[in-house]
Amino acid sequence: MTWPRFVFFMDPNTFISGNPGLWPALIKSFITDINIKRASLSLEYSHTKNAIANFQPEKDNLNNRQIFRSQDLDYHQIYSINPSLPWISNDWWDLQLNTGGFYNRLRTLHLK
């Protein structure tokens, strides 16, 4: 185990630390927007390799300690959709209705 550059002790058996062994995160993403008059639809996909997940728990069985530190994920994928529609009920009332949805998927390396 490589010792981190900083440590925050929460109690005698639990601490938060850094992780000098992290790999850089690499992101591939695709975003498209479709606009028709005032209505719009946005679609997004991103795939992050080696995404960094903060405060991941680890158990040090040798010293009976709980360690929270950043870990690399194998990947993190996001699919999202965001429609926006106008609604004009009369001359003085103009609304823009927005909603969004996403699907998140990830896989860890350190919990295998």
pLDDT digits 0-9 by tens, 7-35:
677 777 777 777 777 888 899 999 999 99
Domain ranges of the chain: 7-108
Q: Where residue 100 falls among pLDDT bands split at 50, 70, 90?
A: very high
Q: Do the Cβ atoms of 67 and 57 come closer than 8 Å? A: yes
pLDDT for position 49: 93
* 87-96 residue pLDDT tens: 888 888 889 8
Rounded Cα gap, residues 84 and 37, in angstroms: 11
96 versus 60: the higher-pLDDT residue is 96
Question: 80 versus 8: which is more confidently predicted?
Answer: 80
* Partners of residue 103 on adjacent β-strands: 79
Structure tokens at 49: 């390799």
- The 10s digit of each residue's pLDDT in 31-53 is 999 999 889 999 999 999 988 88
Q: Which two tokens stand for residue 14?
A: 């639990």
